[in-house]
Structure 1
């Protein structure tokens, strides 16, 4: 089949789609992947080992000033709707027309399309063209259920969860529905009443690309919502290589903690320096060695020592297993990579989705209480680092989770699910 995929976001939103696209191409399909990356132009130079077609649209979306504006909003507030509104205004709306044009082209070329649940242009284009559409959710927190809730508060029972979801839907619809319905009107489609049910979830197939070790398939999820597992893949060039001094640093003392805030590490030199100071001081107070990821530590005035190694980038698969824990922002990919490495986490979320991941790791016993970046201090982070190092049960739980995760093949599972559903659509079309 000719299959098109489209994604938008940071590296954590691109990597799973690369993994899935490669898997579909290896399975014999003719695959095209469209990428709109918020903060990088690196994917335009990426070569596919399987020969899939990669198109990069309007990347990077954000310049340095816009990126700092988003970061400032996130730092100043813990209100997820205000955060979402800012991200939509500066990182999505300016390129929506280009993404929609790319989506229309995909739908004209392909027998079926697969999209990041947030990429409404593809869902609209597919519906207008009558092309089968599969959604991919990178977090299970976005699927409504009376057995779970989308916000990090204590468990409230089914009635409480339904109330939380009602409030969450209300806020999502208020924030996103006007723009989505404007796009639908342009395509000659009727308006939607609920963004989650009618745009984010596909009635054909919605893949939850999360390890079943972390994502519990809830009994009231729609039948089309299926947990495929983590869409993992080998290291790719944009993730960098192991730094030259890593082996010497590791051999010089005890195993370190790895610290990364991913795409949420500020690019602004002053702000990046303050963040590096926060992380460096936390490691000092915790009396542990650390590897700290930063695009320009030297430019911020930080130099590596026997106790702290600053790196620009490093492949998580290769470096996480060599550390005693991972401090990270709670992105879907980093969370699952740290767990797959069998390491406890210290989670410093910036947005509500990352807070959800931190809460899930705490539920599994492999992380302490998440500390939002806005409230993070060296003392609080050091306390969580000491907790991770001094609590053997955390490492035991992380190793147990990693053992189960290594038995999974999320890409193969997802490819099989997609093929079965699309074969069914094809048979129905033939019969009709």
Structure 2
């Protein structure tokens, strides 16, 4: 088949699609991947090792000033739905038309299309073109179930979960549906009535790109919603390599804590300086060595020493296994990369989805209670780091979780699911249509 993929977001939203594209291409499909990156133009220089055609659209979406507005939104807006809506209007809406145009081209060229669950322009383009569509959920927390809700302990009363999901649906629809239906009206399509059922989830196939070590497929999920596992791939060029200074630092003392806030590290120099100070003070108070990821540490007047190494980036798969723990923001990719490496976490979430990941790691016994960035202090983070170091059971649980994840192959499972659902779909459709035509001819 010729398969088109489209994604939008930060590195954690793009890397799973790179992995899936490589897997589909290696399985014999002809694959095109359309990428819109919020905060980087690095993917314009990425070359697929297997020959996937990569098209970069409107990247980066945000300049430094807009990135600062995202950070301010996170701190100033406590309602998670209003927060999500504001972020999308800053980072998604301005390039929506360009993504829709790219989606239409993709549908013209491909037999089926697969999109990031936020990618309602691709869903609309697929409907217009009559193309089969699959979606990829990067978090299991967005799938309604009477058995689970991201705000409650797993296994809570079903009635309470149903009520919470009813409220959650209302809030999501109120925050996001107007913008979605505005584009659909311009495209001549009827409005959607529910963002989760009509946009995020595909009735054909929804891949949940989460390790079954972390997520559990709930019995009342729709049959089309399938847990594929973590969509990961070996380190890619946009992440850089394990630089010599990193190797030297690792060899010079006890295993450090790796500290990264990913795309949530502020771009504004003053704010970034405050964040670096927070992380450095936390490591100093915890008495640990640390590798701290920051694009502009030198501009923020932070210099490396034998205790603290400041790096612009590092490949997670290459560096996490050599650390004693990972302090991170709770993004889907970083969370699963840390768990895959068999390392306990300290989670500093910025948005509600990241809080859910933090609670899942706490439930697994590989992290303490997450501390929201708005409430994070050096003392609180140092206490969590000491908890990780002083709790052998937490490290043992992380090692066990990592070993379980390494026995999985999310990309292979996802490719198998795509093949099972879509291969031969055109043949099946022709077989269904021909008897209808014959019946109509006979009737005439």
Distance 2:155 2:287 in 1: 35
Structure index of larger Rg: 2
Cross-structure match for 2:441 = none
| In the alignment, structure 1 residue 393 sits paired with structure 2 residue 393 | yes
Cross-structure match for 1:170 = 170
Contact 2:270–2:300 (CA under 8 A) maintained in structure 1: yes
Contact 2:326–2:345 (CA under 8 A) maintained in structure 1: yes
The 1:152/1:306 distance shift into structure 2, 3 A limit, reads farther
Contact 1:150–1:164 (CA under 8 A) maintained in structure 2: no
Cross-structure match for 2:51 = 51
246-255 or 119-128, which deviates more: 246-255
Contact 1:177–1:192 (CA under 8 A) maintained in structure 2: yes
C-alpha displacement of 1:157 = 1.5
Which secondary structure state, in structure 1, belongs to the residue aligned with residue 162 of structure 2? Answer: helix
C-alpha displacement of 1:359 = 0.5
Cross-structure match for 1:160 = 160
Distance 1:369 1:345 in 2: 10
236-245 or 297-306, which deviates more: 236-245
1:157-306 equivalence runs, <5 A: 157-306=157-306
Cross-structure match for 1:86 = 86
Cross-structure match for 1:422 = 422
- Unaligned 5+ segments in structure 2 are 433-444
Which secondary structure state, in structure 2, belongs to the residue aligned with residue 292 of structure 1? Answer: strand
C-alpha displacement of 1:243 = 2.4
Which secondary structure state, in structure 2, belongs to the residue aligned with residue 176 of structure 1? Answer: helix
Which secondary structure state, in structure 1, belongs to the residue aligned with residue 114 of structure 2? Answer: strand
| In the alignment, structure 1 residue 35 sits paired with structure 2 residue 35 | yes
TM-score for the superposition, normalised by structure 1: 0.98
Distance 1:151 1:58 in 2: 34
Contact 1:217–1:227 (CA under 8 A) maintained in structure 2: yes
Which secondary structure state, in structure 1, belongs to the residue aligned with residue 50 of structure 2? Answer: coil
Contact 1:259–1:326 (CA under 8 A) maintained in structure 2: yes
Cross-structure match for 1:360 = 360
Cross-structure match for 1:341 = 341
Cross-structure match for 1:61 = 61
Contact 1:3–1:32 (CA under 8 A) maintained in structure 2: yes
Q: For residues 112-159 of structure 1, what are the alpha-carbon distances to aligned partners after superposition, in whole Å with 9 as ceiling and x for unaligned?
A: 000000000000110111100000000000100011113367864111
Cross-structure match for 2:70 = 70
Which secondary structure state, in structure 2, belongs to the residue aligned with residue 383 of structure 1? Answer: helix
Q: For residues 370-424 of structure 1, what are the alpha-carbon distances to aligned partners after superposition, in whole Å with 9 as ceiling and x for unaligned?
A: 0000000000000000000000111111111111111111111100100110025
Provide the alpha-carbon RMSD of the alignment: 1.1
Contact 1:78–1:351 (CA under 8 A) maintained in structure 2: no
Q: For residues 223-281 of structure 1, what are the alpha-carbon distances to aligned partners after superposition, in whole Å with 9 as ceiling and x for unaligned?
A: 00000010010111111111221222122211110000000001111000000000000
Which secondary structure state, in structure 2, belongs to the residue aligned with residue 147 of structure 1? Answer: coil
Distance 1:160 1:150 in 2: 12
Distance 2:178 2:169 in 1: 14
Contact 2:147–2:156 (CA under 8 A) maintained in structure 1: no
Distance 2:277 2:303 in 1: 12
Distance 1:296 1:96 in 2: 30
Contact 1:294–1:311 (CA under 8 A) maintained in structure 2: yes
C-alpha displacement of 1:77 = 3.2
Contact 1:3–1:30 (CA under 8 A) maintained in structure 2: yes
Contact 2:10–2:37 (CA under 8 A) maintained in structure 1: yes
387-396 or 149-158, which deviates more: 149-158
Which secondary structure state, in structure 1, belongs to the residue aligned with residue 350 of structure 2? Answer: coil
Contact 1:3–1:29 (CA under 8 A) maintained in structure 2: yes
Distance 2:110 2:155 in 1: 44
1:362-377 equivalence runs, <5 A: 362-377=362-377
Cross-structure match for 2:442 = none
Distance 2:85 2:204 in 1: 29
Cross-structure match for 2:440 = none
Cross-structure match for 2:26 = 26
Cross-structure match for 2:323 = 323
378-387 or 156-165, which deviates more: 156-165
Contact 2:330–2:354 (CA under 8 A) maintained in structure 1: yes
Which secondary structure state, in structure 1, belongs to the residue aligned with residue 346 of structure 2? Answer: strand
Contact 1:329–1:348 (CA under 8 A) maintained in structure 2: yes
Distance 1:53 1:424 in 2: 23
C-alpha displacement of 1:178 = 1.0
Which secondary structure state, in structure 1, belongs to the residue aligned with residue 28 of structure 2? Answer: coil
C-alpha displacement of 1:183 = 1.5
Distance 1:152 1:384 in 2: 22
| In the alignment, structure 1 residue 99 sits paired with structure 2 residue 99 | yes
Contact 2:73–2:87 (CA under 8 A) maintained in structure 1: no
